[in-house]
Amino acid sequence: MTILRDRLEARGYLTSVARDGEEALVTVGAFDAPLADGTPLPDLILLDVMLPKVNGFEVARRIKANRSLPFIPIIIQTALDTTEDKVVGLDSGADDYITKPINLAELEARIRSLLRIKSLQEEVERQHAALSAINDQLVRIARTDALTGIDNRRSLEERLDETFEHSRRLNEPFACVMCDLDKFKSVNDAYGHQAGDEVLRQLAQLLREHAREIDWVGRYGGEEFLLILPGATLEAAVTFAERMRKAVEARTFSFAATTIRRTMSCGVAGWPHPRIRDVEALVRAADNGLYAAKSGGRNRVVRWDAAETGDIGMDGAGPTAADAAADTSDGPAEHTPHDLRADDGEHRANITTTSHASSPPGDGLPRGGHGRPADEDRGAPPGA
């Protein structure tokens, strides 16, 4: 063994020697404990079959069975040259087999061949890791809103489907909150779209700070945000939405040297509910709660509960007396003669095409709330 080591080192190889099979396993971290991080591993193992404590066949088997180890080529050297012995050695995990007396030129050729294979495999693994990282990044891009960095609508719809199926399977409640900044269009008109973008980014961060770790926060479209609250009852979701509304009302948004104040309206819907049979109905209910909040004077939270508040009809009529009872906020309640959602940003007609399609006629769920009439507050002063 000493002669072989000296001849290999004379040809530029760095070597280390294990005196028995147990020491060999300890050297690569395959015995009783893994190696400490950063401990170098051999690039190749030249393994004798006749070893004390643990024979070479068993050493090879344990090393190859250890999933935490990278690919380490193993050449078994032995005086046993029968076909049966070679089969046992190769089946144990050895990558090559050489018989004694060892011809050094042949051994070097086998070492170079296996090191070449190891190098190619490592390159394949590096490329696979790079491709996985790129794929992960593409998935994140596909599921993230570019402006705010939170979930986009596509991701929200996937989360909604997953949460609904989970809640239905375990019979657990969950709720969603549809939020919309009041009079957001006047921010763009008065300060420019860059200021509006910054307000949306700061609002997204504020919503994330108030949400639980298990909640999903995303931008549904324009200045509208949707929050998915797994395990939350309708009452708990209303309380949460009210807390967010107050936080937005108290928040001063900033852009450059400009400060901007805005309020937020929210619609809340929850499952289980006899009138909500699927995800589409749940989102539509929360959206109509938001419609009622806008029609009721903005800066308020409205829970949708058809059993108590009635439907918001096709004609876009404002909330009923029962709707007012479901209004949870202490915001302004001035009389509004018609729908006020038009002045709160972009028309939502450009985001209504989605997998959450309207239910067929006769389902008893509210409709409307997607169309917006002409902007009545376009000339409102900033901060109104």
Helices (H), 11-55: 21-27
- Element housing 264 (H / E): strand 264-271
Q: Output the six-digit token pair for 349.
A: 């007609």
Assess contact for 153 and 219: CB atoms under 8 A.
Answer: yes
Mark whether 223 is an active-site residue.
Answer: yes
Nearest residue to 177 (alpha-carbon basis) of 314, 282, 272, 297: 282
Helices (H), 311-377: 321-326
Catalytic residue among 157, 223, 224, 280: 223
Paired strand residues for 273: 276
Q: Output the six-digit token pair for 310.
A: 């009635």
Helices (H), the chain: 2-10, 21-27, 56-65, 83-91, 104-143, 153-170, 185-191, 193-210, 234-250, 279-295, 306-309, 321-326
Tell me if the bond preceding 40 is cis, omega within 30° of 0: no
Instruction: Show which residues are catalytic.
Output: 223
